[in-house]
Structure 1
Amino acid sequence: MKQGVRWGGRVVAGWAACMLLTRCGEAVNGMEDDPRCRESSGLEVRELALAPVADSYVEEDQGPTVHGTERKLVADNLSRRSAWLRFEVPEPPGPVLRATLRLYALDGSTDGPKLYPATTDWTEDSLSWTKAPELTGGPLGDVGLVPNGSWVEYDVTAAVAGSGPQGFALVTESRNGVDFASKEHARQELAPRLVLTVEAPTGMGCGARR
Protein backbone atom coordinates (compact mmCIF):
# COMPACT_ATOMS: atom_id res chain seq x y z
CA MET A 1 0.00 0.00 0.00
CA LYS A 2 1.37 3.42 -0.92
CA GLN A 3 2.19 5.90 1.80
CA GLY A 4 -0.22 8.71 2.57
CA VAL A 5 -3.49 6.86 1.98
CA ARG A 6 -5.93 6.89 4.89
CA TRP A 7 -9.08 4.84 5.09
CA GLY A 8 -12.27 5.08 7.12
CA GLY A 9 -16.04 4.75 7.02
CA ARG A 10 -17.86 2.31 4.79
CA VAL A 11 -18.85 1.90 1.14
CA VAL A 12 -22.43 1.76 -0.11
CA ALA A 13 -24.14 3.43 -3.07
CA GLY A 14 -23.56 7.04 -4.17
CA TRP A 15 -21.12 9.77 -3.19
CA ALA A 16 -22.94 10.48 0.06
CA ALA A 17 -22.29 6.90 1.15
CA CYS A 18 -18.75 6.56 -0.18
CA MET A 19 -15.75 6.61 2.10
CA LEU A 20 -15.14 10.32 2.49
CA LEU A 21 -11.87 11.56 3.91
CA THR A 22 -10.76 15.16 4.13
CA ARG A 23 -7.10 16.09 4.03
CA CYS A 24 -5.79 19.52 4.92
CA GLY A 25 -2.44 19.51 6.68
CA GLU A 26 -2.75 16.56 9.06
CA ALA A 27 -6.49 16.85 9.70
CA VAL A 28 -8.65 13.85 8.82
CA ASN A 29 -12.34 13.11 9.39
CA GLY A 30 -13.18 12.77 13.05
CA MET A 31 -9.84 14.16 14.21
CA GLU A 32 -8.92 17.49 15.76
CA ASP A 33 -9.46 20.55 13.57
CA ASP A 34 -6.39 22.14 12.00
CA PRO A 35 -6.13 25.98 11.92
CA ARG A 36 -4.62 25.78 8.46
CA CYS A 37 -7.91 24.31 7.20
CA ARG A 38 -9.99 27.14 8.62
CA GLU A 39 -7.77 29.55 6.75
CA SER A 40 -8.13 27.70 3.43
CA SER A 41 -9.73 29.11 0.29
CA GLY A 42 -12.84 26.95 0.59
CA LEU A 43 -11.56 23.85 -1.23
CA GLU A 44 -10.42 20.55 0.23
CA VAL A 45 -9.06 17.28 -1.11
CA ARG A 46 -11.19 14.20 -0.54
CA GLU A 47 -10.73 10.51 -1.25
CA LEU A 48 -13.84 8.69 -2.45
CA ALA A 49 -13.76 4.88 -2.59
CA LEU A 50 -16.18 3.05 -4.89
CA ALA A 51 -16.95 -0.66 -4.78
CA PRO A 52 -17.46 -2.44 -8.13
CA VAL A 53 -21.02 -3.09 -9.23
CA ALA A 54 -19.80 -6.24 -11.00
CA ASP A 55 -16.61 -8.31 -11.21
CA SER A 56 -15.76 -11.76 -12.51
CA TYR A 57 -13.27 -13.73 -14.58
CA VAL A 58 -13.50 -15.90 -17.71
CA GLU A 59 -11.64 -19.03 -18.79
CA GLU A 60 -11.11 -20.21 -22.36
CA ASP A 61 -11.60 -23.95 -21.76
CA GLN A 62 -14.86 -23.34 -19.90
CA GLY A 63 -16.56 -21.49 -22.75
CA PRO A 64 -19.97 -20.28 -21.49
CA THR A 65 -19.30 -20.92 -17.77
CA VAL A 66 -19.75 -17.84 -15.56
CA HIS A 67 -17.80 -17.05 -12.35
CA GLY A 68 -19.61 -13.99 -11.07
CA THR A 69 -20.27 -15.41 -7.60
CA GLU A 70 -16.69 -16.49 -6.87
CA ARG A 71 -14.59 -14.80 -4.20
CA LYS A 72 -11.59 -14.29 -6.46
CA LEU A 73 -10.61 -12.67 -9.75
CA VAL A 74 -8.06 -14.68 -11.75
CA ALA A 75 -5.63 -13.57 -14.46
CA ASP A 76 -3.50 -16.46 -15.75
CA ASN A 77 -2.14 -17.19 -19.21
CA LEU A 78 -1.53 -20.88 -18.41
CA SER A 79 -5.26 -21.62 -18.28
CA ARG A 80 -6.18 -18.57 -20.39
CA ARG A 81 -8.11 -16.66 -17.75
CA SER A 82 -8.72 -12.91 -17.54
CA ALA A 83 -10.58 -10.80 -14.97
CA TRP A 84 -13.07 -7.98 -15.46
CA LEU A 85 -14.45 -5.21 -13.26
CA ARG A 86 -17.23 -2.67 -13.77
CA PHE A 87 -17.83 0.47 -11.70
CA GLU A 88 -20.60 3.06 -11.78
CA VAL A 89 -19.08 6.48 -11.14
CA PRO A 90 -21.57 9.13 -9.90
CA GLU A 91 -21.09 12.81 -10.64
CA PRO A 92 -18.05 13.82 -8.54
CA PRO A 93 -18.29 16.83 -6.21
CA GLY A 94 -15.27 18.40 -7.88
CA PRO A 95 -12.41 17.80 -10.36
CA VAL A 96 -10.84 14.34 -10.25
CA LEU A 97 -7.16 14.80 -9.43
CA ARG A 98 -6.29 11.11 -9.43
CA ALA A 99 -8.03 7.75 -9.87
CA THR A 100 -6.53 4.52 -8.52
CA LEU A 101 -7.72 0.93 -8.81
CA ARG A 102 -6.73 -1.05 -5.69
CA LEU A 103 -6.71 -4.85 -5.66
CA TYR A 104 -5.66 -7.34 -2.99
CA ALA A 105 -3.59 -10.33 -4.14
CA LEU A 106 -4.70 -13.53 -2.39
CA ASP A 107 -2.20 -15.53 -4.46
CA GLY A 108 0.60 -13.51 -6.00
CA SER A 109 2.63 -13.82 -9.17
CA THR A 110 6.17 -13.34 -10.43
CA ASP A 111 4.71 -11.15 -13.17
CA GLY A 112 1.39 -9.41 -12.53
CA PRO A 113 -1.22 -8.58 -15.18
CA LYS A 114 -1.69 -5.53 -17.36
CA LEU A 115 -4.80 -3.44 -16.82
CA TYR A 116 -6.89 -2.28 -19.81
CA PRO A 117 -10.00 -0.12 -20.22
CA ALA A 118 -12.96 -2.25 -21.34
CA THR A 119 -16.59 -2.10 -22.42
CA THR A 120 -19.25 -2.16 -19.71
CA ASP A 121 -22.25 -3.86 -21.37
CA TRP A 122 -22.07 -7.05 -19.30
CA THR A 123 -23.35 -8.53 -16.05
CA GLU A 124 -21.92 -11.13 -13.67
CA ASP A 125 -24.46 -13.75 -14.76
CA SER A 126 -23.67 -13.27 -18.47
CA LEU A 127 -19.89 -12.77 -18.54
CA SER A 128 -18.07 -15.77 -20.00
CA TRP A 129 -15.24 -16.54 -22.41
CA THR A 130 -17.73 -16.76 -25.27
CA LYS A 131 -19.38 -13.47 -24.22
CA ALA A 132 -16.36 -11.52 -23.04
CA PRO A 133 -16.30 -7.70 -23.23
CA GLU A 134 -13.89 -5.87 -25.52
CA LEU A 135 -10.78 -3.91 -24.66
CA THR A 136 -11.19 -0.25 -25.61
CA GLY A 137 -7.61 0.95 -25.49
CA GLY A 138 -4.00 0.21 -24.67
CA PRO A 139 -2.77 -0.83 -21.21
CA LEU A 140 -3.31 1.65 -18.39
CA GLY A 141 -0.66 0.00 -16.27
CA ASP A 142 1.45 -3.09 -15.70
CA VAL A 143 2.95 -4.67 -12.59
CA GLY A 144 5.86 -7.01 -12.03
CA LEU A 145 6.31 -9.11 -8.91
CA VAL A 146 3.11 -9.38 -6.83
CA PRO A 147 3.71 -10.95 -3.38
CA ASN A 148 1.04 -13.07 -1.72
CA GLY A 149 -1.19 -11.01 0.56
CA SER A 150 -0.24 -7.63 -0.90
CA TRP A 151 -2.07 -4.63 -2.30
CA VAL A 152 -1.65 -3.72 -5.97
CA GLU A 153 -2.44 -0.25 -7.31
CA TYR A 154 -3.02 0.89 -10.88
CA ASP A 155 -3.15 4.57 -11.80
CA VAL A 156 -6.31 4.87 -13.95
CA THR A 157 -6.60 8.66 -13.94
CA ALA A 158 -6.40 8.74 -17.74
CA ALA A 159 -9.47 6.50 -18.04
CA VAL A 160 -11.79 8.11 -15.48
CA ALA A 161 -12.87 11.39 -17.03
CA GLY A 162 -16.17 11.81 -15.18
CA SER A 163 -19.40 10.09 -14.22
CA GLY A 164 -20.83 6.97 -15.83
CA PRO A 165 -19.92 3.28 -16.20
CA GLN A 166 -16.24 2.38 -16.13
CA GLY A 167 -14.85 -1.01 -17.13
CA PHE A 168 -11.45 -2.63 -16.65
CA ALA A 169 -9.81 -5.88 -17.73
CA LEU A 170 -6.85 -7.70 -16.16
CA VAL A 171 -4.90 -9.66 -18.77
CA THR A 172 -1.55 -11.35 -18.33
CA GLU A 173 1.01 -13.04 -20.55
CA SER A 174 2.48 -14.86 -17.55
CA ARG A 175 1.85 -18.56 -16.92
CA ASN A 176 2.24 -17.80 -13.22
CA GLY A 177 -1.21 -16.33 -12.60
CA VAL A 178 -2.53 -14.11 -9.83
CA ASP A 179 -5.72 -14.32 -7.74
CA PHE A 180 -7.24 -11.05 -6.50
CA ALA A 181 -10.06 -10.78 -3.96
CA SER A 182 -13.42 -10.07 -5.61
CA LYS A 183 -16.35 -8.08 -4.24
CA GLU A 184 -17.83 -11.38 -3.03
CA HIS A 185 -14.90 -12.08 -0.71
CA ALA A 186 -15.89 -12.70 2.91
CA ARG A 187 -13.52 -9.97 4.08
CA GLN A 188 -14.99 -6.87 2.49
CA GLU A 189 -11.95 -4.77 3.37
CA LEU A 190 -10.05 -6.81 0.76
CA ALA A 191 -12.55 -6.21 -2.05
CA PRO A 192 -11.58 -4.07 -5.07
CA ARG A 193 -11.91 -0.31 -4.78
CA LEU A 194 -11.79 2.52 -7.30
CA VAL A 195 -10.38 5.41 -5.25
CA LEU A 196 -10.92 8.92 -6.59
CA THR A 197 -9.01 11.87 -5.20
CA VAL A 198 -11.12 14.96 -5.85
CA GLU A 199 -11.00 18.66 -5.08
CA ALA A 200 -14.33 19.80 -3.65
CA PRO A 201 -15.84 22.79 -1.80
CA THR A 202 -15.18 22.78 1.93
CA GLY A 203 -18.13 21.52 3.93
CA MET A 204 -18.05 21.54 7.72
CA GLY A 205 -14.29 22.04 8.10
CA CYS A 206 -11.39 19.64 7.90
CA GLY A 207 -11.83 18.16 11.33
CA ALA A 208 -15.64 17.91 11.31
CA ARG A 209 -17.44 14.59 11.22
CA ARG A 210 -19.70 13.97 8.25
Structure 2
Amino acid sequence: MKQGVRWGVRGVTGWAALVLLAGCGDEAPSSEVDCQKSSGLEMQELAVAPTDDGYVEEGLEQAGSGVERKLVADNLSRRSAYLRFNVPALPGPVMQASLRLFALDGSTDGPKLYPTTTDLNENTLTWSQRPSITGEPLGDLGEVPHRSWVEYDVTPVVTGSGAYGFALINESRNGVDFASKEHSRVLWRPGLVLSVEAPRSHGCLQPDPG
Protein backbone atom coordinates (compact mmCIF):
# COMPACT_ATOMS: atom_id res chain seq x y z
CA MET A 1 0.00 0.00 0.00
CA LYS A 2 1.43 3.37 -0.99
CA GLN A 3 1.99 6.32 1.31
CA GLY A 4 -0.96 8.51 2.25
CA VAL A 5 -3.62 5.98 1.22
CA ARG A 6 -6.07 3.98 3.30
CA TRP A 7 -8.56 1.43 1.99
CA GLY A 8 -12.09 1.72 3.32
CA VAL A 9 -15.17 -0.50 3.16
CA ARG A 10 -17.59 1.17 5.54
CA GLY A 11 -20.75 2.63 4.07
CA VAL A 12 -22.05 6.14 4.56
CA THR A 13 -25.76 6.82 4.34
CA GLY A 14 -25.61 9.93 2.19
CA TRP A 15 -23.25 12.80 2.92
CA ALA A 16 -25.09 14.13 5.95
CA ALA A 17 -23.00 14.71 9.05
CA LEU A 18 -22.35 11.63 11.16
CA VAL A 19 -21.98 12.27 14.86
CA LEU A 20 -20.64 9.68 17.31
CA LEU A 21 -21.75 10.55 20.83
CA ALA A 22 -19.86 9.35 23.89
CA GLY A 23 -21.56 8.08 27.03
CA CYS A 24 -22.37 10.15 30.08
CA GLY A 25 -19.90 10.86 32.86
CA ASP A 26 -19.54 9.05 36.18
CA GLU A 27 -20.89 11.77 38.45
CA ALA A 28 -23.30 10.60 41.13
CA PRO A 29 -26.96 11.44 40.39
CA SER A 30 -28.76 14.00 42.53
CA SER A 31 -31.44 12.91 45.00
CA GLU A 32 -34.23 14.64 43.06
CA VAL A 33 -33.42 14.00 39.38
CA ASP A 34 -31.21 11.24 38.00
CA CYS A 35 -29.25 13.62 35.77
CA GLN A 36 -25.89 12.60 34.34
CA LYS A 37 -23.80 15.25 32.66
CA SER A 38 -20.67 14.51 30.67
CA SER A 39 -17.76 16.84 30.17
CA GLY A 40 -14.56 17.05 28.19
CA LEU A 41 -14.08 16.23 24.51
CA GLU A 42 -15.26 13.56 22.08
CA MET A 43 -14.61 12.66 18.45
CA GLN A 44 -17.28 13.52 15.90
CA GLU A 45 -17.21 12.34 12.29
CA LEU A 46 -18.47 14.71 9.60
CA ALA A 47 -18.82 14.06 5.88
CA VAL A 48 -18.71 16.91 3.33
CA ALA A 49 -19.78 16.61 -0.33
CA PRO A 50 -17.83 18.37 -3.11
CA THR A 51 -19.17 21.65 -4.47
CA ASP A 52 -17.56 21.06 -7.89
CA ASP A 53 -15.85 18.17 -9.68
CA GLY A 54 -14.91 17.20 -13.21
CA TYR A 55 -12.01 16.12 -15.40
CA VAL A 56 -10.00 17.58 -18.25
CA GLU A 57 -8.15 16.18 -21.26
CA GLU A 58 -4.94 17.69 -22.53
CA GLY A 59 -5.51 20.08 -25.44
CA LEU A 60 -9.32 20.06 -25.22
CA GLU A 61 -11.06 23.32 -24.39
CA GLN A 62 -14.68 22.17 -24.43
CA ALA A 63 -16.25 22.24 -20.97
CA GLY A 64 -18.93 19.81 -19.87
CA SER A 65 -17.34 17.06 -17.78
CA GLY A 66 -18.90 18.60 -14.67
CA VAL A 67 -22.24 16.99 -15.52
CA GLU A 68 -20.82 13.51 -16.07
CA ARG A 69 -21.21 10.68 -13.56
CA LYS A 70 -17.50 9.85 -13.50
CA LEU A 71 -14.09 11.39 -12.81
CA VAL A 72 -11.34 10.08 -15.11
CA ALA A 73 -7.61 9.96 -14.34
CA ASP A 74 -5.75 8.35 -17.23
CA ASN A 75 -2.28 9.02 -18.62
CA LEU A 76 -3.10 7.25 -21.89
CA SER A 77 -5.45 10.06 -22.96
CA ARG A 78 -3.88 12.63 -20.59
CA ARG A 79 -6.98 13.09 -18.46
CA SER A 80 -6.91 14.43 -14.88
CA ALA A 81 -9.74 14.86 -12.38
CA TYR A 82 -10.38 17.76 -9.99
CA LEU A 83 -12.54 18.27 -6.90
CA ARG A 84 -13.38 21.25 -4.71
CA PHE A 85 -14.83 21.12 -1.17
CA ASN A 86 -16.13 23.86 1.09
CA VAL A 87 -15.80 22.80 4.73
CA PRO A 88 -18.29 24.65 6.97
CA ALA A 89 -17.63 25.96 10.46
CA LEU A 90 -16.57 23.08 12.70
CA PRO A 91 -17.14 22.48 16.44
CA GLY A 92 -13.45 21.80 17.01
CA PRO A 93 -10.05 21.04 15.43
CA VAL A 94 -9.65 18.47 12.65
CA MET A 95 -7.79 15.41 13.91
CA GLN A 96 -8.09 13.30 10.75
CA ALA A 97 -9.26 14.04 7.19
CA SER A 98 -9.76 11.56 4.35
CA LEU A 99 -10.90 11.90 0.75
CA ARG A 100 -13.12 8.92 -0.10
CA LEU A 101 -13.70 7.85 -3.70
CA PHE A 102 -15.51 4.92 -5.29
CA ALA A 103 -13.75 3.30 -8.25
CA LEU A 104 -16.22 2.43 -10.99
CA ASP A 105 -13.41 1.02 -13.13
CA GLY A 106 -10.22 -0.13 -11.44
CA SER A 107 -6.57 0.18 -12.41
CA THR A 108 -3.28 -1.65 -11.97
CA ASP A 109 -1.78 1.65 -10.82
CA GLY A 110 -4.03 4.37 -9.47
CA PRO A 111 -3.49 8.14 -9.49
CA LYS A 112 -1.58 10.46 -7.23
CA LEU A 113 -3.55 13.07 -5.28
CA TYR A 114 -2.29 16.67 -5.21
CA PRO A 115 -3.52 19.80 -3.39
CA THR A 116 -4.63 22.56 -5.75
CA THR A 117 -5.95 26.09 -5.82
CA THR A 118 -9.68 26.40 -5.18
CA ASP A 119 -10.70 28.25 -8.36
CA LEU A 120 -12.55 25.21 -9.73
CA ASN A 121 -15.85 25.77 -11.54
CA GLU A 122 -17.15 22.53 -13.00
CA ASN A 123 -19.24 24.40 -15.58
CA THR A 124 -16.21 26.08 -17.17
CA LEU A 125 -13.50 23.48 -16.42
CA THR A 126 -11.14 22.93 -19.38
CA TRP A 127 -7.48 22.00 -19.84
CA SER A 128 -6.37 25.64 -19.80
CA GLN A 129 -8.80 26.62 -17.03
CA ARG A 130 -7.89 23.82 -14.61
CA PRO A 131 -6.72 24.60 -11.05
CA SER A 132 -2.99 24.79 -10.32
CA ILE A 133 -1.15 22.26 -8.18
CA THR A 134 0.13 23.82 -4.95
CA GLY A 135 2.18 21.09 -3.28
CA GLU A 136 3.67 17.62 -3.23
CA PRO A 137 1.49 14.49 -3.63
CA LEU A 138 -0.69 13.68 -0.63
CA GLY A 139 -0.97 10.03 -1.64
CA ASP A 140 -0.34 7.58 -4.43
CA LEU A 141 -2.57 4.59 -5.13
CA GLY A 142 -1.30 1.22 -6.19
CA GLU A 143 -3.70 -1.33 -7.63
CA VAL A 144 -7.33 -0.26 -7.45
CA PRO A 145 -9.87 -3.10 -7.63
CA HIS A 146 -12.97 -2.72 -9.79
CA ARG A 147 -15.89 -1.24 -7.80
CA SER A 148 -14.03 -0.56 -4.59
CA TRP A 149 -13.60 2.30 -2.12
CA VAL A 150 -10.27 4.07 -1.71
CA GLU A 151 -9.21 6.73 0.76
CA TYR A 152 -6.48 9.35 0.65
CA ASP A 153 -5.19 10.83 3.90
CA VAL A 154 -5.49 14.62 3.46
CA THR A 155 -4.96 15.57 7.10
CA PRO A 156 -1.83 17.64 6.32
CA VAL A 157 -3.82 20.16 4.27
CA VAL A 158 -7.39 20.06 5.65
CA THR A 159 -6.96 21.92 8.91
CA GLY A 160 -10.37 23.52 9.47
CA SER A 161 -13.22 25.34 7.76
CA GLY A 162 -12.67 26.80 4.29
CA ALA A 163 -12.25 25.78 0.65
CA TYR A 164 -9.98 22.93 -0.47
CA GLY A 165 -9.04 21.69 -3.92
CA PHE A 166 -7.57 18.40 -5.12
CA ALA A 167 -6.29 16.90 -8.36
CA LEU A 168 -6.11 13.22 -9.34
CA ILE A 169 -3.24 12.70 -11.78
CA ASN A 170 -2.35 9.26 -13.11
CA GLU A 171 1.10 8.45 -14.44
CA SER A 172 -0.07 5.03 -15.63
CA ARG A 173 -1.60 4.27 -19.03
CA ASN A 174 -4.10 2.10 -17.19
CA GLY A 175 -6.51 4.74 -15.95
CA VAL A 176 -9.24 4.67 -13.34
CA ASP A 177 -12.80 6.05 -13.28
CA PHE A 178 -14.24 7.28 -9.99
CA ALA A 179 -17.88 8.12 -9.30
CA SER A 180 -18.54 11.88 -9.40
CA LYS A 181 -20.99 13.91 -7.33
CA GLU A 182 -23.46 13.56 -10.20
CA HIS A 183 -23.58 9.77 -10.00
CA SER A 184 -27.08 8.37 -9.64
CA ARG A 185 -26.02 6.21 -6.71
CA VAL A 186 -25.66 8.67 -3.85
CA LEU A 187 -23.60 6.26 -1.75
CA TRP A 188 -20.89 6.15 -4.43
CA ARG A 189 -20.35 9.90 -4.60
CA PRO A 190 -17.07 11.45 -3.35
CA GLY A 191 -16.78 12.76 0.16
CA LEU A 192 -14.37 14.47 2.49
CA VAL A 193 -14.62 12.68 5.84
CA LEU A 194 -13.42 14.61 8.90
CA SER A 195 -12.80 13.41 12.44
CA VAL A 196 -13.26 16.47 14.67
CA GLU A 197 -12.47 16.88 18.37
CA ALA A 198 -15.48 18.65 19.85
CA PRO A 199 -16.98 19.40 23.27
CA ARG A 200 -18.77 16.36 24.63
CA SER A 201 -22.57 16.42 24.40
CA HIS A 202 -24.64 16.60 27.55
CA GLY A 203 -27.56 14.38 28.42
CA CYS A 204 -30.06 14.16 31.27
CA LEU A 205 -31.85 10.95 32.27
CA GLN A 206 -35.19 11.29 34.02
CA PRO A 207 -35.80 8.93 37.00
CA ASP A 208 -37.52 5.62 36.30
CA PRO A 209 -41.19 6.06 37.29
CA GLY A 210 -41.30 2.41 38.35
Q: Which runs of 5+ in 2 are unaligned?
A: 1-6, 27-35, 204-210
SS in 1 for 2:65: coil
Kept in 2: contact 1:103–1:190 (CA 8 A): yes
Superposed, 1:94-173 pairs within 5 Å as 94-173=92-171
CA deviation profile, 1:150-200 (whole Å, cap 9, x unmatched): 001000000112211100000010000000000000001100000000011
Kept in 1: contact 2:117–2:132 (CA 8 A): yes
Q: Distance in 1 between matches of 2:67 and 2:12?
A: 26
SS in 2 for 1:68: helix
SS in 2 for 1:93: coil
Which structure's residues are more often helix, by fraction? 1
For normalisation by structure 2, the TM-score amounts to 0.83
Q: 1:6 to 1:47 in 2, by over 3 A?
A: farther
Q: 1:2 to 1:34 in 2, by over 3 A?
A: farther
SS in 1 for 2:168: strand
Q: Distance in 2 between matches of 1:61 and 1:79?
A: 10
Q: Which runs of 5+ in 1 are unaligned?
A: 12-17, 25-32, 206-210
Match of 2:180 in 1: 182
Match of 2:49 in 1: 51
Task: Measure how far apart 1:63 and its partner are.
Answer: 2.8
Which of the residues 62, 65, 69 maps onto 1:64? 62
Runs of 4+ in 1 over 2 A off after TM superposition: 5-8, 33-36, 38-42, 61-66
Matched, 1:2 2:8: yes
CA RMSD of aligned residues (A): 2.0
Identity %: 60
Match of 2:91 in 1: 93
Q: 1:110 to 1:6 in 2, by over 3 A?
A: closer
Matched, 1:196 2:202: no
Kept in 2: contact 1:64–1:131 (CA 8 A): no
